[in-house]
Each structure stands twice: as structure tokens, then as C-alpha cells.
């Protein structure tokens, strides 16, 4: 086994996340799928840090976690506020904006 | 520490140590299963817990790949803080909401899955062909003074500006949460003990205990208001939720328990 | 333990961004400590003061060309011009954000935490709007400024999030039609997070390819990397998806009409002018600095995206019945024209910068005028309601007609000069197919604008024509700025063309 296996695992995880965003309707689950995509990107970064022999990849993964934390707060606050207004977290129910 | 030292080691032919390979083959299916399960689970809580499984496996992978700091941060921040926040919000809002199986855009799910499989195969084969030829350098040299020290050195030199700018992100997040979740009470809206007891004894208010439903009533249903000594009904005796739960005629019909009659059918 | 040495920091180069970030932080403190009645005045003056100080710092810096603070920031001619453009457009759109006369309490909700249509929501209808929007706007503007001068992809990613997160929030804060506003915030957020995940995965693959994420490092890595080109191609494609999403290019444009319609109109104006400038600033920098040497590989793909964007944007604009959606699709089509500038590489950087300024001012003016047409429900944005406004409000209709003609690219407006400059420099860079498609699509795009003009002047007024409200000096100033710049850049564009020519190419070393 070589470190490339990590990269392939990350690519598969990223794809699962992307497909999940497209097929799921619950806003919270869609958001979790985005988090999975970020995690896959992090695994790629950490693996490439090892392949390239520099710590930059690990630092970037660290930054991604900080950014993700801030993003989660904002995202869940928005989902909460929309849920309180209409008692549903489905993205299909959010359909006022059509022409 | 032996695990860490092992992680940084790479044999000349670019293969990883056996210990790492075994761990990978145990945890990779778990990570993959967690991810697939997250997408497939109909219940949002299950999705979140399965994603936690995936994230914990990734945390172990980071430690294996000579990144103990980032692995710990993954476990503490991602699974410990971010996913718990997700669970809190799911419990608050979305626990009962399940995805409908009806497709709004016909064929969208199938198209997404086909697209995804194609994308993964393209990327996977590309990566396998692309990277396989290069020997991994390993992090022995970079981690010579310790992984945390190495990260600190880069974080506070090369990436110092990005590090400072993330503070803007955190401030925005705090303000955003306040803005969307906090309702400020006006001075008059706050009801303390004193105000409450004043209100209780104001004119037109009956300070004693409320009469229970059914007391002096014409029926023993909880939905029937009590009759006061002066003969008038008092709506206060009926809990607010009772009228809301009043059954319609169809619902209140006697229901057949078994036999060949349809439920609710009256002969 | 070896000691840690800070890299060389050129504080002068960072000063504009530091000022705006600093003003935003002070704004947060004002929110915490200033008495409620004073906050609005303090915030408005602080925000404008901060932005003007930042602009002065940029003008002082105008000849600076330096990569500083460990390669995280690259200040050069185009970067400074873009920063200045974002600040100026930001100051102008602030006039709309701070407007409080059109609607009692301003365009923003007082307490967004109330559920829409609840008792609390109805009670707060006449209360003054939240003042947190000012620091949030400042954070967004500062993030955009950093986005345009990022020297590496990590800084770019952080900057992308710094300017996106406040915008997600601002979208959900409209005073009227809370549900639509919250829905816009949710859509923008989910799709934005999705796009930034693609951006990040692209960064990861490029890091694997080049061993570094600095733009100049990737440029050198292209020449000497041992890794396979598949990593480069995949990384570039994923990175481009993230950037094209912010730029609203087809097929990553689906959020644009919904978000533009649902967001409070001042925020829509901010997004249409400033976010567009920032997104294209980032695109131009990434493609000109990091990927110039691989141009043969990506130019055909990006050219296809540009053609799709121009065609789809202009055709869908024809079918719109809501003025905000119409302007959204026109913004998509304009993204296509700007992509022509990106594809043309260094030859068209100057004219792209010119286009961003010209388009930004016109679109700010147009959205400012959209805020004026009101009935008891708030803004009346459906086009049928605009029929016959020319009879009752000739001045309004004349100005709006002028802006629409500007968008349509009639001579004597900035729309003509900017398109001319862009297309001629693209022609010189041998992008003749793109230029032909661009010219044809701008002919198609002229129809919806002219439809609005006909509607304003020739159609009979409907049964309940909304009124054109009289705004305060702030919105008047915005409309004046939009119309005046559209006119001046149409008649005498040479001074600005000289400035963008002086800005020179991106610093690539």
C-alpha cells in the first residue's frame, strides 16, 4: 500500500459528499455533505503534506477547520431562522423564489 | 509515539509500514461506510452520527500520516464541536423532518449518482496514475523539532496574515449568531417576581386558584368549561391546548376493532 | 528549539485593508457600548470614514508593487485598482444601506431573530433597523479587498470566506418579505459553501502538484513539477468552479436570480457591484499569474463557459417579469463579457478593470432606482407594476431609461465604451469568436432593457401604479453617482482608460 490510497479514498469521499448535496433535500443533511467534502479536501491536504515533505498542507487543513467552524455557525443560524419561520428544513419547501 | 515515528517512515519502494496499512484497511471501509450511510440515512440524527464515524477515522489517518496535532484538532474541533453543534440544531429543528422520496426534478437523483460515479472514477484513476510515480518524501525532516513546533513556526511566519484574518471570520460568526438568534427584551417586557404578583392582584383578575375543568360542569369532559357560582361558564378552566385538539366528527366515531368492517364505518 | 522570525511586513501595503478591518472591529465595539439612539449616526460616519481613509491609503500607495508578509499579499497595479474600485463602489452602495427615509427604519429588519409573521415580527415593523449591518458590510468589503491581492491560494480561500459569510447574513435581513429574504440567504449559503468546497479541493490538488499554494509557486511548478499534469488540470478545474460561482458564470449561476431577488435591494446592489469586482479580480489574478503558462489547456474551456454565460444570460433575461431578476440575468450576461476579458489574459486586464467600474456604477444606480418604486407592501418589483410610470414621474423614468440604454450599450454611455474597449482588446488577443458571440448576445440583451423603457413610457398605467417615493440625500447621491459616471465614462472615458493602462500587468514574480 502506498500513500496514494489516501488520495483515492479522499476523492471517493469528496464525490459522495457532492452527490449527497445534489440528492438530499434536508438543508441540515445537505450542509453535512458539504462538511464531508471539506473533510475529504483536508485528507488530501494532509496526504500531500506527507508526499511533498512540507507541513504547509497540515496548516491549510487547520485553517479549513477554523473556516468550517465559522461557516457552520452562520449556516446553522440561517437554517434555524428559516425553520422557525416555516417549520420545515426541506430545501424543496423553500420555493417562494420562482418566477 | 512509536505510531508517529512509524507514520513518518516510508520504505524505499514507497510502501507504508504494515501497521499503517492494516489500520488503513480497517478504518477506510468504516470511513466510506459512514459517508455512504450519511447520504442514505433517512433520519438526520443517524446521518450526523455516521458522519462523526467518518471524521474520527480521518482523525486517525491524520495521526498516522505524521500529523498528531491536526489529528487531535480534527477530533476535538470537528467531531467534538462542529458535529455536536449539528446535533443540537437537528434536535431543535429537524429531528422529525424526513426526506420525502418524491423527486421534484425527475431523474435528478439518478443523474447525480451517475455524474458522481463518473467524477470519482475520473479523479481516482487520474490520482492513481498521476501520483504513483513519485516517491513520497515523508515528514521526518519537517517534524524533526516536533510536529506542533513545526506547525507553529509556519503558522506564525508564512501564514501569519491568514491567521490574523480568520479573526474577522470568527467575529462575523459571533455577530451572525447573535443577529439571527437573540431577541432583545424591551424594558417593559421583562416580567420579574414583583411585576407578576402585582399583575395577579390587579383589578378584574381573580387571584385564587383556577377552578378545575368539569367542576360544576354539565359533563365530565376536560373540554367542558367549569361553571362559576354565579352560573356563568369560565373559559379559564379549560387548558388552552384542549380546544386545539378537539376531534372532528369522523375522528370521534366509534372505531371497529376487528372483523370485516372498515375502520370507522357506521352501520 | 530554533527561534521564530516574523517575515518582512510592509505595513504601507497592508494599510488599506488594516484600516477597513479595524473600522469593522470598532463598529462591533460601538454596537456593544454605544447607546441605542446614537448607534446609527456613529456607525454610518465610522463606516464612511473608514472606507474613505482606506481609499486615501490606496491612492498614496498607487505606485507600490511588492509581495509582502511571507508571500500572502501581492500589491500591484491591478490589485490596487481593484481595491480602490471595491472601496468606491462600497461607499456608494453604503448610501443605499444607510437610507432611512424611503421606509421607516431603513431596509433592514430590526431583530432578525423573530420568526417571520410572528407577533414579535409585526411589533418591530416600525422600529429602526439593525445597525450590525454596517460592520458586516465593512468585513465583506475588507474580505473582497484581500481577495484581489492574495498572493497564495490559502489567503484567497480565507478571504473568500471573510467576504462571503457577511453577505450570507445580510441577504437574510430584509425588512419586508422576510420569508423570501431568509430563503435567499439559505440558498446563497448552501450553494456558496458547496462552491467553496470545490475551491478548496482544487487548492489541495494544486498543492499536491506544485508543493506550494503561492500563485507564483504554481507558475514555476508548472515548468518543473515531477507530478503528472492530471493533478494540475483537475486542480485548476475545481478551483475555477469555486471562482466562477462567485462570478455567477453559467452553469454556476443558478443562485443569482433567486438571491438577487430575495436579498434586500441595497445588499443586491452591493453584491452586483462589489462582489462582481472582487470575483473577477480573483479570476484575473489566478489565471494571469498562476496559469498563464498553461493557457493553451484552459482557454478553450473557459471560452466555452464565457459563450454559455453570455448566451444563456441574455436569452433568459428576455423572459423575466421582475426587474430584480432581469438585472440578475443581465449581471450573468455581463459576467460572460468579463470572462472574455479573462480568457484574453494580459491583453485585456486594463479593459476588464474599466468594465468593472463602469458596470458597477450603472448597476448601483439601477438598483437605487428600484428601491424608489413602492406601494404599501414595500418595493414593487414586478415589471407589470412599472407600466406607465413615465406619465407620473418623468424625471425618474428619464434617468432609469438612461441607465437601461447604458446597459444596452448605446453610444454616449459607459456601456458602449466599456464593451468597445473590452471587445477590441479581446479582438487584439485573437479571441475573435468570443467577440462575435459577445456582440450578438449584447444585441439580444438590449431587448429586455428596451422592453422596460417601452413599458415606462408607452404602456398605459395599470390600475394601481405604485408611487415613486422621494428618497433622502443618500439615495439621491447614489442615483446621481450612477447616472453621472455612466454618462462621463460614455463621453470622456480617456482619463480612466489611462489609469487602467498605467496599472499595468499583474505582478508575477
Of C324 and C467, more confident: C324
Half-sphere exposure for B145 (CA within 13 Å, toward CB): 11
User: In chain A, positions 52-91, which contact chain C (CB-CB < 8 Å)?
Assistant: 52, 54, 56-57, 59-60, 63-64, 67, 70-71, 74-75, 78-79, 81-82, 84-86, 91
Assign B222 a pLDDT band (cuts: 50, 70, 90). low
Checking if the pLDDT of C61 tops 70, the result is yes
B147 domain-assigned: no
Q: CA C334 to CA C360: how far, in whole Å?
A: 11
Based on its alpha-carbon atoms, the radius of gyration of chain C, rounded to whole angstroms, reads 22
Q: C118-146: per-residue pLDDT in tens?
A: 778 888 888 888 899 999 999 999 999 99
User: In chain A, positions 21-40, which contact chain B (CB-CB < 8 Å)?
Assistant: 22-29, 31-33, 35-36, 39
Range with top average pLDDT, A2-16, B188-202, C459-473 = A2-16
Query: Among residues C324, C364, C368, which one has the least CA distance to residue C99?
Result: C368
Q: Which residues of C touch B153 (CB under 8 A)?
A: 2, 4
Q: CA C212 to CA A45: how far, in whole Å?
A: 11
C6 domain-assigned: no
Confidence (pLDDT) at C289: 92
Q: C3-31: per-residue pLDDT in tens?
A: 778 888 999 999 999 999 999 999 999 99
Checking if the pLDDT of B57 tops 60, the result is yes
Helix, strand, coil proportions of chain A in percent (round to 5)? 80, 0, 20
List all chains that touch chain B, counting a touch as 3 or more CB pairs closer than 8 Å: A, C
Once rounded to an integer, what is the mean pLDDT over residues C80-93? Answer: 95
Q: B106-162: per-residue pLDDT in tens?
A: 677 888 888 888 888 888 887 777 666 677 777 877 778 888 999 998 899 889 999
Contact C208 B131 (CB under 8 A): yes
Checking if the pLDDT of B64 tops 70, the result is yes
Confidence (pLDDT) at C428: 92
Contact A46 B67 (CB under 8 A): yes
Confidence (pLDDT) at A3: 85
Domain end point (choices B97, B122, B146): B97
C212 domain-assigned: yes
Contact C472, C100 (CB under 8 A): yes
Mutate to test the interface with B, among A76, A85, A93 (most CBs of B within 10 A): A76
Confidence (pLDDT) at B1: 40
The least confident of B63-77, B126-140, C2-16, C265-279 is: B126-140
C1 domain-assigned: no
Chain centroid to Cα C444, Å, comes to 23
Domain end point (choices B97, B114, B141): B97
The three grid cell numbers given for residue C185, joined into one nine-digit string: 440567504
User: In chain C, positions 321-350, which contact chain A (CB-CB < 8 Å)?
Assistant: 321-322, 325
B64 domain-assigned: yes
Once rounded to an integer, what is the mean pLDDT over residues B164-187? Answer: 89
Q: C354-403: per-residue pLDDT in tens?
A: 999 999 999 999 999 999 998 888 888 888 888 888 888 899 999 999 99
Give the count of domains, chain B: 2
Whose cell is 462575523? That residue is: B172
C497 domain-assigned: yes
Assign C52 a pLDDT band (cuts: 50, 70, 90). very high
Q: C441-452: per-residue pLDDT in tens?
A: 999 999 999 999
Contact A71 C161 (CB under 8 A): yes
Residue C130 lies in domain: 11-503
Query: Among residues C503, C432, C464, which one has the least CA distance to residue C61?
Result: C503
Query: Among residues C230, C226, C229, C237, which one has the least CA distance to residue C203?
Result: C237
Q: CA C408 to CA C425: how far, in whole Å?
A: 20
- 3-state secondary structure (DSSP) of residue C375: strand
Q: C150-167: per-residue pLDDT in tens?
A: 999 999 999 999 999 999
Contact B117 A7 (CB under 8 A): no
Q: Which residues of B touch A17 (CB under 8 A)?
A: 35
Beta bridge partners of C75: C66
Confidence (pLDDT) at B2: 41
Sign for the pseudo-dihedral over CA of A35, A38, A43, A46: negative
Give the count of domains, chain C: 1
Q: CA C260 to CA C133: how far, in whole Å?
A: 17
| Phi, psi angle pair for C175, to nearest 5° | -75, -45
B127 domain-assigned: no
Contact A74 B51 (CB under 8 A): no
Checking if the pLDDT of C90 tops 80, the result is yes
Domain end point (choices B66, B97, B128): B97
Checking if the pLDDT of C109 tops 60, the result is yes
Gap from A10 CA to chain C (nearest CA, Å): 10
User: In chain B, positions 127-156, which contact chain C (CB-CB < 8 Å)?
Assistant: 127, 129-131, 133-134, 145, 149, 152-153, 156
Of B200 and B14, more confident: B200
Assign B55 a pLDDT band (cuts: 50, 70, 90). very high
Confidence (pLDDT) at A99: 42
Q: Which residues of A touch B35 (CB under 8 A)?
A: 12-13, 16-17, 36
Assign B229 a pLDDT band (cuts: 50, 70, 90). confident
B215 domain-assigned: yes
Contact C78, C506 (CB under 8 A): yes
B130, B153, B172 ranked by CB distance to C230: nearest: B130
User: In chain C, positions 184-223, which contact chain A (CB-CB < 8 Å)?
Assistant: 184-187, 189-190, 193-194, 197-198, 200-201, 203-205, 207-208, 211-213
Q: What is the ipTM of this complex?
A: 0.92
Whose cell is 492513481? That residue is: B128
Confidence (pLDDT) at B69: 94
Checking if the pLDDT of A66 tops 70, the result is yes
Query: Among residues B98, B91, B113, which one has the least CA distance to residue A92?
Result: B98
Q: CA C227 to CA C244: how far, in whole Å?
A: 26
C313 domain-assigned: yes
Confidence (pLDDT) at C154: 95
Q: Which residues of C touch B118 (CB under 8 A)?
A: none
Residue B222 lies in domain: 189-252
Mean pLDDT across chain C, nearest whole number? 91
Chain centroid to Cα B72, Å, comes to 21
Confidence (pLDDT) at C70: 86
Checking if the pLDDT of B58 tops 50, the result is yes
Checking if the pLDDT of B210 tops 90, the result is no
Checking if the pLDDT of B4 tops 70, the result is no
Confidence (pLDDT) at B217: 56
Q: In CATH, what number is assigned to the domain containing residue B83?
A: 1.20.120.1200
Strand ranges for C311-406 from DSSP E: 373-375, 378-379
| Phi, psi angle pair for C375, to nearest 5° | -130, -165
Assign B37 a pLDDT band (cuts: 50, 70, 90). very high
Mean pLDDT across chain B, nearest whole number? 78
Assign B94 a pLDDT band (cuts: 50, 70, 90). low
According to DSSP, residue A90 is labeled B
Q: What percent of chain A has pLDDT over 90?
A: 61
B197 domain-assigned: yes
Gap from C195 CA to chain A (nearest CA, Å): 9
B257 domain-assigned: no
Amino acid at each position: 500500500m502506498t500513500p496514494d490510497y489516501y488520495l483515492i479514498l479522499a476523492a471517493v469521499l469528496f464525490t459522495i459528499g457532492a452527490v449527497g448535496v445534489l440528492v438530499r433535500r434536508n438543508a441540515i443533511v445537505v450542509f453535512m455533505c458539504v462538511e464531508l467534502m471539506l473533510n475529504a479536501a483536508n485528507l488530501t491536504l494532509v496526504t500531500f503534506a506527507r508526499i511533498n515533505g512540507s507541513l504547509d498542507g497540515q496548516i491549510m487543513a487547520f485553517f479549513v477547520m477554523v473556516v468550517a467552524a465559522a461557516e457552520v455557525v452562520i449556516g446553522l443560524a440561517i437554517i434555524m431562522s428559516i425553520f422557525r419561520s416555516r417549520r420545515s428544513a426541506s430545501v424543496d419547501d423553500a420555493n417562494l423564489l420562482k418566477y | 509515539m512509536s505510531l508517529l515515528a512509524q507514520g513518518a517512515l516510508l520504505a524505499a519502494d514507497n510502501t507504508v509500514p504494515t501497521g499503517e496499512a492494516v489500520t488503513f484497511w480497517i478504518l477506510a471501509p468504516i470511513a466510506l461506510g459512514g459517508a455512504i450511510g450519511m447520504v442514505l440515512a433517512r433520519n438526520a440524527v443517524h446521518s450526523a452520527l455516521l458522519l462523526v464515524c467518518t471524521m474520527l477515522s480521518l482523525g486517525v489517518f491524520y495521526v498516522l500520516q505524521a500529523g498528531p496535532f491536526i489529528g487531535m484538532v480534527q477530533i476535538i474541533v470537528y467531531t467534538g464541536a462542529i458535529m455536536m453543534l449539528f446535533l443540537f440544531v437537528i434536535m431543535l429543528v429537524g429531528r422529525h423532518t424526513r426526506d420525502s422520496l418524491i423527486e421534484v426534478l425527475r431523474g435528478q437523483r439518478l443523474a447525480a449518482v451517475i455524474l458522481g460515479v463518473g467524477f470519482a472514477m475520473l479523479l481516482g484513476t487520474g490520482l492513481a496514475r498521476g501520483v504513483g510515480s513519485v516517491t513520497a518524501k515523508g515528514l521526518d525532516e519537517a517534524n524533526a523539532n516536533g510536529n506542533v513546533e513545526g506547525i507553529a513556526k509556519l503558522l506564525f511566519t508564512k501564514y501569519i496574515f491568514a491567521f490574523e484574518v480568520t479573526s474577522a471570520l470568527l467575529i462575523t460568526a459571533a455577530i451572525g449568531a447573535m443577529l439571527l438568534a437573540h431577541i432583545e427584551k424591551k424594558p417593559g417586557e421583562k416580567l420579574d417576581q414583583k411585576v407578576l404578583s402585582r399583575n395577579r392582584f390587579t383589578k378584574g383578575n381573580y387571584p385564587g386558584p383556577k377552578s378545575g375543568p368539569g367542576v360544576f360542569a354539565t359533563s365530565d369532559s376536560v373540554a367542558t368549561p367549569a361553571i362559576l357560582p354565579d352560573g356563568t361558564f369560565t373559559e379559564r378552566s379549560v387548558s388552552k391546548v384542549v380546544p386545539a385538539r378537539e376531534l372532528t366528527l369522523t375522528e370521534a366515531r366509534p372505531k371497529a376493532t376487528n372483523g370485516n368492517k372498515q375502520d370507522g364505518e357506521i352501520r | 528549539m530554533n527561534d521564530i522570525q516574523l517575515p518582512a511586513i510592509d505595513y504601507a501595503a497592508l494599510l488599506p485593508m488594516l484600516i477597513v478591518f479595524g473600522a469593522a472591529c470598532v463598529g462591533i465595539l460601538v454596537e456593544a457600548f454605544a447607546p441605542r439612539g446614537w448607534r446609527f449616526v456613529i456607525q454610518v460616519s465610522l463606516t464612511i470614514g473608514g472606507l474613505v481613509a482606506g481609499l486615501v491609503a490606496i491612492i498614496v500607495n498607487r505606485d507600490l508593487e511588492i509581495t509582502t508578509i511571507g508571500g500572502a499579499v501581492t500589491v500591484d497595479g491591478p490589485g490596487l485598482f481593484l481595491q480602490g474600485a471595491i472601496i468606491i463602489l462600497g461607499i456608494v452602495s453604503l448610501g443605499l444601506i444607510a437610507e432611512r427615509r424611503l421606509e421607516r427604519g431603513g431596509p433592514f429588519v430590526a431583530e432578525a431573530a423573530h420568526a417571520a409573521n410572528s407577533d414579535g415580527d409585526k411589533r418591530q415593523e416600525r422600529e429602526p433597523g439593525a445597525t450590525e449591518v454596517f460592520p458586516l458590510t465593512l468585513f465583506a468589503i475588507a474580505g473582497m479587498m484581500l481577495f484581489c491581492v492574495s498572493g497564495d491560494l490559502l489567503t484567497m480561500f480565507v478571504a473568500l470566506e471573510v467576504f462571503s459569510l457577511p453577505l450570507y447574513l445580510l441577504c437574510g435581513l430584509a425588512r419586508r418579505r422576510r420569508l423570501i429574504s431568509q430563503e435567499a440567504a439559505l440558498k446563497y449559503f448552501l450553494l456558496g459553501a458547496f462552491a467553496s468546497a470545490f475551491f478548496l479541493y482544487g487548492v489541495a490538488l494544486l498543492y499536491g502538484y506544485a508543493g506550494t499554494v503561492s500563485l507564483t509557486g504554481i507558475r514555476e511548478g508548472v515548468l518543473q513539477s515531477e507530478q503528472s499534469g492530471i493533478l494540475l488540470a483537475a486542480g485548476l478545474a475545481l478551483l475555477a468552479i469555486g471562482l466562477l460561482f462567485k462570478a455567477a458564470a453559467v452553469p454556476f449561476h443558478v443562485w443569482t436570480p433567486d438571491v438577487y431577488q430575495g436579498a434586500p435591494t441595497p445588499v443586491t446592489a452591493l453584491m452586483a457591484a462589489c462582489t462582481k469586482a472582487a470575483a473577477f479580480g480573483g479570476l484575473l489574478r489566478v489565471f494571469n499569474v498562476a496559469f498563464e503558462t498553461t493557457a493553451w489547456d484552459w482557454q478553450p474551456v473557459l471560452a466555452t463557459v464565457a459563450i454559455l454565460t453570455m448566451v444563456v444570460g441574455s436569452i433568459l433575461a428576455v423572459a423575466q417579469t421582475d426587474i430584480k431578476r432581469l438585472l440578475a440575468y443581465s449581471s450573468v450576461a455581463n459576467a460572460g463579457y468579463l470572462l472574455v476579458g479573462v480568457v484574453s489574459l494580459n491583453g485585456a486586464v486594463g479593459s476588464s478593470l474599466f468594465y468593472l467600474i463602469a458596470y458597477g456604477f450603472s448597476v448601483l444606480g439601477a438598483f437605487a432606482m428600484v428601491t424608489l418604486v413602492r406601494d404599501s407592501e414595500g418595493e414593487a418589483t414586478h415589471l407589470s407594476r412599472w407600466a406607465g410610470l413615465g406619465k407620473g414621474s418623468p424625471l425618474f423614468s428619464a434617468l432609469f431609461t438612461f441607465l437601461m440604454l447604458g446597459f444596452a450599450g448605446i453610444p454616449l454611455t459607459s456601456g458602449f465604451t466599456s464593451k468597445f474597449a473590452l471587445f477590441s482588446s479581446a479582438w487584439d488577443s485573437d479571441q475573435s469568436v468570443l467577440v462575435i458571440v459577445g456582440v450578438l448576445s449584447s444585441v439580444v440583451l438590449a431587448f429586455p432593457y428596451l422592453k422596460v423603457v417601452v413599458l415606462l413610457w408607452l404602456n398605459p398605467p395599470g390600475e394601481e401604479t405604485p408611487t415613486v417615493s422621494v428618497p433622502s440625500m443618500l439615495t439621491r447621491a447614489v442615483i446621481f453617482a450612477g447616472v453621472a459616471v455612466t454618462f462621463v465614462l460614455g463621453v470622456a472615458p480617456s482619463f480612466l482608460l489611462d489609469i487602467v493602462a498605467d496599472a499595468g500587468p499583474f505582478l508575477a514574480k
